[in-house]
Amino acid sequence: MDQKELSLDANELVRRYKREGHFDKKRKELLDQFKLSPEYKQLLESLKSDVESRVKQDPLVLLDSSKRAQAVALAEGTATRSGASTLANYARTTTIESQTLNAAIKEQMEEFLKSNETKP
């Protein structure tokens, strides 16, 4: 089997893996784990604190739709800045660098490959 055939086989396996919902299931598991983590709680507290601070500065932000839209945009920017490093660190350590996750995915893919060897 040449490299092109091997690549096509790998692409087909990925397509089937996704089509059968395995990718979405793993993504949901990781999101559920994140929601239980201290990093998630830290991110929520940071956002809550920022929103409370903005409302204290200008309580009318809750009533005036133009101010509300501006406050939402500012909060999104703050969330992105404050949460980016927390999320990046969490994602790196729990996915890319996680030996446990890598082993689990490798095992799952081997089982998936065996079960798909006979499928057309």
**85 within some domain:** yes
Residue 112 lies in a domain: yes
- Assigned domain for 49 exists: yes
What whole-number distance in Å separates Cα of residue 28 and Cα of residue 19? 15
- 32 in a structural domain: no
Residue 86 included in any domain = yes
DSSP for 19-57, please give it.
HTTHHHHHHHHHHHHHHTSHHHHHHHHHHHHHHHHHHHH
Prediction pTM value: 0.62
CA distances from 42 to 29, 46, 48, 76, 110 (A): 20, 6, 10, 16, 37
What is the chain's length? Answer: 120
**Domain range spanning residue 97?**
37-116
Instruction: Please give the pLDDT value at position 51.
Output: 79
Closest CA to 105 of 17, 20, 36, 37: 17
Domain count, the chain: 1
Q: pLDDT (tens digit, 0 to 9) for every residue of the chain, 120 residues total?
A: 444 444 457 788 788 888 888 888 888 988 899 899 998 888 888 878 877 888 888 887 777 777 777 777 777 776 676 666 777 788 888 887 888 888 888 888 888 777 776 555
